[in-house]
Copies of this chain bind each other. A is one copy, B any other.
Amino acid sequence: MSAHLDFVQKNAKYVETFDKGDLPVPPQKKLLIVTCMDARIDCYKSLGLELGEAHVVRNAGGSARDALRSILISQRLLGTREVAVFHHTNCGMQSFTAPQLREIVKSDAQSRPENEKEYIGKSVDGMEFYEFSDLEKSVKQDVQFLKDNLLVLDEAKITGWIYDTANGEVKQVV
């Protein structure tokens, strides 16, 4: 069964007690969180954040580079002045290399027509995946990337963190 078939029914319960319809658009804590898409992470709960307090950007790995467009919009149009980057233990991004993933995609396309195979090969060869091996180093590099990037506001406070999926704990790295 498709998971989306549940959405309307489950959402009806949420709507019954919903009382946050008048929250302003700009995040009240002027905070933006970058974290991984990983299914085991709920940063509202793990950081005690309330609805309306922070922008939440999530992508494979919690990559700051991948989040740059969102960070720019958040800072310039919606007033956030703090970025907290979270990577986590046991992350899928530590389980592959870009060349391996490109091979998987090309191999999956073996039975396609030649022009499609060519398009897929070129596309995936041109993509960055931002995988990493050293967790702590990856957090530090992402924070440094944002500090060095001229599109990110100088006055923004930028911190880097690790979330432990085994016990729910967060630890500041930088």
Q: Which of B14, B73, B165 meets A21, CB within 8 Å? A: B165
A6 within 8 A of B: yes
Once A7-B161, A58-B57, A120-B151 are accepted as A-B contacts, the answer to whether A48 and B13 lie under 8 Å apart by CB is yes
Query: Which A residues have a C-beta under 8 Å from some C-beta of B?
Result: 2-4, 6-8, 10-11, 13-15, 18, 20-21, 23, 25-32, 37-42, 44-49, 51-60, 66-67, 69-70, 72-74, 76-78, 82, 84, 90, 92-93, 95-96, 101, 104-105, 108-109, 112, 116, 119-120, 123-124, 127-130, 150-151, 153, 157, 159, 161, 165-170, 172
B37 touches A55 (CB 8 A): yes
